[in-house]
Amino acid sequence: MPEQTRSVKATAVWVVLLAGAAGLVVALSLLPSSSVAPAHVAGATAEAPPEEPTAEGAAPAALAAWDRFQAAQDIVISARDVVEMRGLMSLEEGPDNKGTGSAPAESARVSYVWCEDDGRPEQEYDEQAAGPPSDDHLAVFELDVPRPGAYYPWVRVWWEDSCGNSIILMLQREGAEPREYVVQDGTLEWWHWLPVTGGAGLELEEGRYRLIVKNREDGARLSRVLFCTKGYGLYKPETPEG
């Protein structure tokens, strides 16, 4: 065999061998990492699997922590929620303010508690006091405070005239002293919202309360009470629902 032919064959063999080696390296590099991962070391601590997320995407522990720090929520009481009425206090229904309905010409209906005439003679009232006892004519409501915090109560009221433009609210938690407030102003024959307390609002604990609406002057109506979580300077209800 000529020397030149042997040289060509040897070169071809080396080319084939080098190509095979290169192919093997490429094939190994394409294998999944788990295929070449080292065996588990005996005695090593396995890593804990991540906590399963909930439907909302947060882990249960995170949701529990959020639940503890969630803000208080508004509480709305309607006249129809009354659980007890005494004396001449009654639950009635009448027209709401004009234009409150779905069409300008319509007038929506509103439910309210009131005492049309408690039978007492007209007399002077001290504007800073709760007035004479009125335990004979009242409406009782109950509310559950789900979270403690600061609340800013509002009432939606309607006054008949200047001799019937105030009402008494009493809030009492079981086993605690009641807190009593007089609500009044000079806006007559129009449903409107009024704040109940001073700017600091009320600090309420979690639990059940009794809200008592007492008749102070004949003809005063109350349709709703809103315990708002926003301060008086930040929010004022405008709609009948608050």
Cα–Cα distance between 81 and 119 in angstroms, integer? 26
Confidence of residue 165 (pLDDT cuts 50, 70, 90): very high
Kindly tell me if the per-residue pLDDT of 174 is higher than 60. Answer: yes
Q: Are 202 and 153 in contact (CB under 8 A)?
A: yes
Three-state helix/strand/coil letters over the chain: CCHHHHHHHHHHHHHHHHHHHHHHHHHHHCCCHHHHCCCCCCCCCCCCCCCCCCCCCCCHHHHHHHHHHCCCCCEEEEHHHCCEEECCCEEEEEEEEECCCCCCCCEEEEEEEECCCCCCCCCCCCCCCCCCCCCCCEEEEEEEECCCEEEEEEEEEECCCCCCCEEEEEEEECCCCCEEEEEECCCCCCCEEEECCCCCCEEECCEEEEEEEEECCCCCEEEEEEEECCCCCCCCCCCCCC
pLDDT in tens, 100-130: 876 666 779 999 999 999 887 765 545 445 4
Across 83-108, average pLDDT: 88
pLDDT of amino acid 122? 62
Residue 225 has pLDDT above 50, yes or no: yes
Confidence check: pLDDT of 195 > 70: yes
Residue-level pLDDT at 72: 67
Average of per-residue pLDDT across 74-98: 97
Task: Please say whether the structural domain 73-119+132-228 has been given the CATH code 3.40.50.2300.
Answer: no
- What is the pLDDT at residue 158? 98
Task: State yes or no: pLDDT of 175 exceeds 80.
Answer: yes
Given a cut of 60, whether residue 163 has pLDDT beyond it is yes
Please report the pLDDT score of residue 103 as a whole number.
Answer: 63
Question: In the prediction, which pLDDT does 229 show?
Answer: 96
pLDDT given at position 227 = 98
